[in-house]
Amino acid sequence: MRHINIDNSNSNQRVDRFLMKLMPKMSKNHIQKLIRTKKIKVNKKRTEPDYDLKIDDVVNIYLYDEVIEKYQDNKIYTADDFNLDIIYEDDDLILINKKTGVLSHAANPQDYGKNIVDMMVSYLIKTNQFKPTQNSTFTPALVNRLDRNTSGIVVGAKTYDSLKYFNDLFKKHEITKIYETIVVGNLKDQTIDLALEKDNDKNKSVINSSGKKSMTKVWNVKNFGKYSLVNVDLLTGRTHQIRAHLSHINHPIIGDIKYGNREVNKYFKNKYDLNFQLLHSYKLVFPEKMGKYQKYESMVFESKRDDLFEKILNDLESKYD
């Protein structure tokens, strides 16, 4: 049998959901049956599947350890910091500057150590902030994600409660996300309000009035003749939204193979070996009011550009200044 102490990393969730994370190979119906038949209790008292766990509760599981282990998913992490570029860290959150070419999440089991989630968890193990054997129902996770070829800030949650809270903020677009990119032409400041529809066959978003409402605010930071450094405020979060919108108004991102200008891409490929879109999520602004997470109110986080982005930008500035 096991007695699991609830702390801030796994409180504020239903007991049946907690158990589904502890034993992911066990069905929800099976777990609820164990609760009803008092094989699982809270604080040694009968409970209900929808009971919300609180800090200092104890979940009592009256099953043999080998039975529990049979239903667990025992992923093995190593202790390593992977030279993470950490922007900010405290007991609840960790903000990381993701490099271009790095996955946010693993695409398959062979991707261990090649994605931000694994790197983050391994770092937290190395620094004794996360112990898989003790925190068996919650693994630190990302609140937001970026495409492989988009660099910039990703937010990791160290507790279940902070994961829920910040997931909700991102879904409601209450956290301001500012991107920077280099586009073709001399862009005029504007808000692009064009509905997007996903073409699954081509894995591409297209402008379609019957699609989902999509809004992107863009403004020109500096013009370099044929190109402009542009900032982007993502007001909605559709697939490839920034790339599709900028392409539609004839200011495609340089290096963007899917939505970009072929001749421009060829030039930057030959000169810089650029084979991806120059898009960097460089700033996050948290809301003014954040309730129980008031310590983060109005906080602003910024991240450095990747080396290649910086090199191309410096060359453009030198040429056109």
Active-site amino acid positions: 147
Calculate the alpha carbon distances from 285 to 15, 125, 203, 288, 290 in Å: 34, 28, 30, 9, 12
Torsion angle (degrees, nearest 10) of CA 82, 90, 144, 10:
100
> Are 297 and 287 in contact, with CB atoms under 8 Å apart?
yes
